[in-house]
């Protein structure tokens, strides 16, 4: 009789412990957290880096376009209504900026205008808020592509979601300077490699590959 009572007490305590335990802590399991995915850096099937032709084929004819300078970079912005604008590099003609203010737009897992900070963290993961030009954002890096970011603008008071921005443009002057230096280095390397291809190396020994000074690893 006492043994049965003892087992009942133990079982009851175990059930109470399960009810009081934090979600995801049972059996040593970690609590699920949100994360960004490659698809988060796109809108209506158009990704950062896609060509201008794909953009227009997917979005249709824009209402108007305007060219502005973003930290010295010429960007053509197409307007598809006041709630949706897409920036295309004037040099490469590739999509570099997607601005979505449409209150009816739904992103992954139903995230939309008005989403709470809890919903944002549950879908995209934990992030500290960042202020840029007086606006508050959660900023997420692309998991695979350096320089591509998802910016979620939130209300400064209660933190609800206001807009989406997917961009590969620099966000500060410091980033713009760093990108410019990388472009210069990349262009210099292209010129060097192009020059190397034009040199006739057929008479050189095959067992001694030609190396460009300063580029060896």
At 144-155, the pLDDT tens digits run 999 999 999 999
> pLDDT digits over 18-53, tens only?
344 444 333 333 345 799 999 999 999 999 999 999
Grade residue 201 by pLDDT with cuts at 50, 70 and 90.
very low
Give pLDDT tens digits for 66-101: 999 999 999 999 999 879 999 999 999 999 999 999
**Per-residue pLDDT at 206:** 41
Closest CA to 167 of 138, 147, 186: 147
Tell whether the model's pLDDT for residue 128 goes beyond 80.
yes
Looking at residue 13, what is its pLDDT? 46
pLDDT of residue 99: 97
Could you tell me which CATH class the domain 38-174 is placed in? alpha beta
What is the value of pTM for the model shown?
0.71
Q: Could you tell me the residue ranges of all domains in the chain?
A: 38-174
């Amino acid at each position: 009789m006492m043994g049965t009572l003892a087992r009942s007490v133990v079982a009851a305590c175990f059930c109470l412990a399960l009810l009081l335990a934090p979600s995801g802590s049972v059996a040593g399991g970690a609590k699920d957290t949100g994360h960004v995915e490659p698809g988060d850096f796109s809108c209506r099937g158009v990704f950062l880096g896609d060509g201008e032709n794909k953009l227009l084929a997917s979005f249709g004819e824009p209402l108007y376009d305007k060219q502005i300078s973003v930290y010295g970079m010429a960007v053509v912005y197409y307007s598809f209504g006041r709630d949706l604008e897409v920036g295309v590099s004037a040099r490469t003609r590739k999509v570099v900026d997607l601005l979505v203010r449409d209150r009816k737009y739904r992103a992954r897992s139903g995230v939309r205008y008005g989403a709470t900070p809890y919903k944002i963290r549950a879908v995209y993961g934990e992030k500290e808020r960042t202020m840029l030009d007086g606006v508050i954002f959660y900023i997420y890096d692309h998991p695979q592509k350096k320089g591509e970011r998802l910016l979620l603008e939130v209300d400064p008071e209660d933190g609800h979601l206001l807009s989406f921005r997917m961009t590969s443009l620099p966000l500060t002057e410091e980033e713009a300077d760093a990108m410019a230096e990388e472009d210069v280095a990349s262009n210099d390397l292209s010129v060097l490699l192009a020059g190397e291809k034009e040199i006739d190396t057929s008479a050189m020994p095959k067992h001694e590959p030609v190396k460009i000074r300063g580029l060896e690893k």
